[in-house]
Amino acid sequence: MNKPQLLIARDVYPAVVEKLEQVFEVETTPEGVVWTPAQLIERLQGKDAVLTSGSERIDAGLLQACPQLKIVANLAVGYNNFDLSAMTAAGVLGTNAPGVLTETTADFGFALLMATARRVTESEHFLRAGRWKQWSLSLFTGADVHGSTLGILGMGRIGQAIARRGAHGFGMRVIYHNRSQLDAATEEACRASYVSQDELLSQADHLVLVLPYSPDVYHLIDAGALAKMKPGATLINIARGGIVDEDALAAALREGRLAAAGLDVFEGEPAVNPSLLSLSNVVLTPHIASASVPTRLAMVMLAADNLLAFFLEGKALTPVNPEVLKNSG
Ligand code: GLV
């Protein structure tokens, strides 16, 4: 029997390619290459499956042009690159990579929070530029992390892992807002209290955004929301860039209404809004929250295992539209 045809749409670890080659006819993508939508469609001709990074857009147009496609396995936990209803309508299964990156991403959320509150990168640039002439009492004074109020918007797995770090490690008061309130046992484990979105904005000293992206949350943090934030607060975004109105954020930072922001994600990434680049009170990182060596490998392996489970056993480990499997059964 012919092997199913698979495109791995980004350069991934050789061990994963080797594993997949046991079952699939694999086309790989060279290092550094990101396919344009038209190139992706071209590469997907005749392919049964594709392993994506989380930024390849899978929409009705692509699905129509690639009728043989049966499964798209994202190596990311976020799957806002999927038009899920179009995929379900076309009978195409989507999978993501939850769980394996939770703790690593929470570590980074905390790293960004601390770097932002304590002005780590700003002061390092100052030192490297040879501008450090003497120690002084107020040199790069920032905000405390311990004992402050940590606000978390979006309390899924990663939000909860950040809450645990804040509450147990840094003695922070943790408040959160989420589509639904967590059960009492989970709140207790995270030592986190549910508040309204407005209470979250007005009470948090450090606000971390970690909610899934959908068009409903586009520019949720706009000028109005920023104006409700506690004066001198910090804002951390490790979710998706589109959640924040970056021009409004830059204005709040420029005017000193917010002390600082730490951003790992950007609306037009990899392009970064020039108004953010020109500010010194922003810590900017290139979407690396899950980027530890073991976690990145685990993410790709989970995507690979989804592909293998689908073709060998007719199921998936972490489907995002499992109704496709039920319908095909
Ligand atoms: C990264 O942003 C992911 O969604 O895994």
Residue 200 has pLDDT above 80, yes or no: yes
Q: In this structure, which long-range contacts are made by residues 283-286, counting pairs with CB atoms below 8 Å and at least 24 apart in sequence?
A: 283/112, 283/115, 283/116, 283/120, 283/121, 283/122, 285/112
Ligand 1 mean position to 66 CA, how many Å? Answer: 25
Residue 327 has pLDDT above 90, yes or no: no
Nearest atom in ligand 1 to 239's CA: 2
Ligand 1 mean position to 220 CA, how many Å? Answer: 19
CA distance 96 to 54: 9
- Catalytic one of 177, 206, 240, 296: 240
Q: How far is CA 294 from the centre of its chain?
A: 17
Residue 226 has pLDDT above 80, yes or no: yes
State how many domains the chain has: 2
Residues 170 and 276 in one domain: yes
The pLDDT tens digits for 120-166 are 999 999 999 999 999 999 999 999 999 999 999 999 999 999 999 99
Ligand 1 mean position to 108 CA, how many Å? Answer: 12
Residues 47 and 159 in one domain: no
Residues 275 and 300 in one domain: no
CATH of the domain at 154: 3.40.50.720
57 included as an active-site residue: no
Q: What percent of the chain has pLDDT over 90?
A: 98
Contact 78, 213 (CB under 8 A): yes
Mean residue pLDDT of the chain comes to: 97
Q: What percent of the chain has pLDDT over 70?
A: 100
Ligand 1 mean position to 140 CA, how many Å? Answer: 32
The separation between the first and the last C-alpha atoms of the chain, rounded to the nearest angstrom, is 21
pLDDT at site 1: 73
Residues 207 and 177 in one domain: yes
Q: Does the reported pTM lie above 0.85?
A: yes
42 included as an active-site residue: no
CA distance 231 to 138: 20
Q: How far is CA 317 from CA 5, 30, 59, 84, in A?
A: 20, 27, 23, 17
Residues 315 and 240 in one domain: no
Contact 153, 197 (CB under 8 A): yes
The pLDDT tens digits for 164-195 are 999 999 999 999 999 999 999 999 999 999 99
240 included as an active-site residue: yes
Residues with CB under 6 A from ligand 1: 54, 76-78, 101, 290
Paired strand residues for 95: 73, 319
Residues 253 and 311 in one domain: no
The pLDDT-based confidence of 328 (bands split at 50, 70, 90) is: confident
- Catalytic one of 27, 103, 199, 269: 269
Residues 275 and 301 in one domain: no
Residues 270 and 134 in one domain: yes
CA distance 228 to 41: 44
Residue 329 has pLDDT above 70, yes or no: no
Average confidence (pLDDT) over 200-220? 97
Residues 90 and 119 in one domain: no
Residues 201 and 278 in one domain: yes
Nearest atom in ligand 1 to 76's CA: 5
The residue whose C-alpha atom lies closest to atom 4 belonging to ligand 1 is 78
Residues 275 and 127 in one domain: yes
The residue whose C-alpha atom lies closest to atom 3 belonging to ligand 1 is 76
Segments forming the whole domain that contains residue 132:
102-284
Residues 224 and 304 in one domain: no
Residue 81 is encoded by which pair of tokens?
């690159």
The pLDDT tens digits for 43-98 are 999 999 999 999 999 999 999 999 999 999 999 999 999 999 999 999 999 999 99
